[in-house]
Amino acid sequence: MKIAVIGTGYVGLVTGTCLAETGNDVICVDIDAEKVEKMKQGVVPIYEPHLDVLFERNIKAGRLEFTTSLDEGLAHGDIIFLALPTPEDEDGSADLSYVLKVSEDIGKKIDNYKVIVDKSTVPVGTAEKVRAVIAQNATTDFDVVSNPEFLREGYAVDDFLKPERIVIGSSSERATRLMQKLYSPFVRSGNPIITMDEKSAELTKYAANSFLATKITFMNEIANYCEKVGADVDKVRVGMGTDSRIGKRFLFPGIGYGGSCFPKDVKALLHAGTLVDYDFKILDSVVEINQIQKQILIPKITAHFGTDLSGKKIAIWGLSFKPETDDIREAPAIDIMNSLLDLGAELTVFDPEAMPNIRKQFGDKLNYANGMYDTLEGADALVICTEWSIFRSPSFSRVKELMKSHVIFDGRNIYQVDEMANEGFKYVSIGRNQ
């Protein structure tokens, strides 16, 4: 099939590349000429495992092309994916200006039947708005489909190629059939393509992300309570998670959820509720608790050192909002580092992928190490903010040799409490006996 993807952010790029992988002819459109030039030369503009291999293969095969010309994209694609940013407005709502501006252009430019697919996370009612904007100018038939994505950063290629489900929201049989055909190679294992109306599809995405954010937040509260009563959240988590109604995943407590999705989507759903006089009380609490949780290590650190950290050298392992990404949007590490800097600490940091992004934001306020051990020279404490695999089994003897005092604050519970006691560390983690 002939596909155009408008917007080559994270979602657009993964969508375009993976659709090319199953033999479609894909053209990706972006207004950033420099980025388009680099992508034409095979440079993947984001860090996402496995994307580079697929990218190169499909460019070579001539199935994946890039352009700055919307006209070219629209002339090429029978199915046009909108993968445009929907940033958070000041009031928490999703800003639809990019989506609606491109929709207006689409209406003016298309001259044969097209399916326009909303891939961005958009509030309920957006498909209707997109349809209305296109219809103002369109001289031809078209359909609008809501097709939310459920990709996780770091696993996006796998999630796209082997999705647990595909959601297609459309009131047009013709468009639904086309979309089912497009996605059928990805669900050979029997996973469902679920069809529904546009509004329900739009809400499915917000509901799923808000539910997962709530699930994590609930466990964070259980972990905080465990500390008060001397229970161990690891044991509680396993005890609960083996109930298949609850499930084992997304029950890991820590220093709060971050990223470009959960924080934005929870706030957007909250805001959308207010527009129809609905008060999502649970989501209000989720936002508030997560903000507190992002700082949960700070009182633990000041309980040990006092509130004046001047002269204290603190090593930070992990800066991205989660492993396997260089994304630092809403990363808890940022909140933690800002608080530690405010208290006077000197910070030496390391992350396998996110160092360039952190350097852009923090400049010379931090020391940037070349490797994880390089952060530890003379350190008074180590703070772990992201559970990258390389941090999971370090040489503790080397860690001890380098650190001035053997204190670890672990925001991701990556070590066993008794193991750390045996190694001779003061080890403080989240929701466990220590």
If one counts every other C-beta atom within 10 angstroms of the C-beta of residue 268, the result is: 25
| Least gap, CB of 249 to ligand UGA (angstroms) | 7
The reply to whether 294 sits in an annotated binding site is no
Q: Is 252 in the site for ligand UGA (CB under 6 A)?
A: yes
- Chain center to CA of 3: 25
Closest CA to 103 of 87, 76, 127, 72: 127
Q: Which is nearer to ligand UGA, 114 or 205 (CB)?
A: 205
Q: Among the residues of 258-378, which ranges form H helices?
A: 262-275, 281-293, 297-305, 332-342, 355-362
Which one of residues 160, 218, 321, 427 is an interface residue with ligand UGA (CB under 6 A)? 321
User: Shortest gap between Cβ of 308 and ligand UGA (angstroms)?
Assistant: 30
Cβ closer to ligand UGA: 236 or 407? Answer: 236
Residue 346, CA distances (Å) to 240, 400, 405 in order: 40, 19, 15
Letters for 152-171 (x = contact with ligand UGA by CB under 6 A, - = none) are xx------------------
Decide: 345 and 309 in contact? Cβ < 8 Å.
yes
Given candidates 45, 169, 254, 431, which one binds ligand UGA under the rule CB under 6 A?
A: 254
218 binds ligand UGA (CB under 6 A): no
Is 264 annotated to bind a ligand? Reply is: yes
3-state secondary structure of 196: strand
118 contributes a contact to ligand UGA by CB under 6 A = no
Smaller CB distance to ligand UGA: residue 70 or 151? 151
Residue 86 neighbours by CB distance under 10 Å: 22
Alpha-carbon gap, residue 332 to 345, rounded angstroms: 17
Cα gap 420→372, rounded to integer Å:
18
Task: Give the three-state DSSP class for 151.
Answer: coil
Catalytic residue among 18, 28, 226, 261: 261
Give the shortest CB-257-to-ligand UGA separation in angstroms: 3
Say how far apart CA 144 and CA 147 lie, in whole Å: 10
Identify which of residues 107 and 263 has a Cβ nearer to ligand UGA in the complex: 263
> Which residue number, 169 or 254, has a Cβ lying nearer to ligand UGA?
254
The verdict on whether residue 329 carries a ligand-binding annotation is yes
Tell me the C-alpha distance between 204 and 122, whole Å: 11
Distances (CA, A) of 239 to 232, 248, 325, 432: 11, 9, 30, 15
Site for ligand UGA in 34-93 (CB under 6 A): none
* 385 tagged catalytic: no
The reply, when asked if residue 313 is annotated as ligand binding, is no
Pick the binder of ligand UGA from 176, 209, 375, 413 (CB under 6 A). 209
Q: How many residues bind ligand UGA (CB under 6 A)?
A: 20
**Binding positions for ligand UGA, 322-361, rule CB under 6 A:** 322
Q: Identify the residue among 216, 272, 337, 369 touching ligand UGA (CB under 6 A).
A: 216
For ligand UGA, the closer CB: 16 or 254: 254
Q: Is 286 helix (H, G, I), strand (E, B) or coil?
A: helix
Q: Are 258 and 433 in contact (CB under 8 A)?
A: no
Footprint on this chain of ligand UGA (rule: CB under 6 A):
121, 149-153, 209, 212, 216, 250-252, 254, 257-259, 261-262, 321-322
Residues involved in catalysis: 261
